Amino acid sequence: LLVFLGLALPGTQGKIISRCEMVRILRRNGFEGFEGTTVADWMCLVKYESGYNTKAYNNNGPSRDYGIFQINSKYWCNDGRTAGSKDACHISCSKLLNDNIEDDIRCAKKIAREAHGLSPW
């Protein structure tokens, strides 16, 4: 059983993006100065919300947080399980749980744009 669990765990963890690579991604995608935020603000958010893990997941009870930015299923994505989901980013939450974070970036920027900063997190 322990061998099976040991083999199963690595598959559940996403790519851990290095700090330097995350800075490059954020700069390349225009996060510096976006809605009054800095790359440092976003780095802090990503570090403490997901630990730079592209497949980070947190069950909050009535809703769940998905991906590197921990985007919530109540307001921003649709996981098919959250009652009254707004799905404001028009995306399946499962698309936020992969190593390609383009969808995550688009949704995170929409959240920051609509909230005028990082207050939703």
Q: Catalytic positions, please?
A: 49, 65
Q: State the amino acid at position 18 in one-letter form.
A: S
Question: How many whole angstroms separate alpha carbon 45 and alpha carbon 70?
Answer: 9
Instruction: State which amino acid sits at residue 14.
Output: G
Quick one: DSSP state of residue 70? Answer: T
* H runs (alpha helix) in 13-94: 19-28, 39-50
Tokens 């707004």 sit on residue: 86
**Helix runs in the chain, H state only:** 2-12, 19-28, 39-50, 102-115
Q: Please state, in angstroms and rounded to a whole number, the distance separating the CA atoms of residues 93 and 112.
A: 18
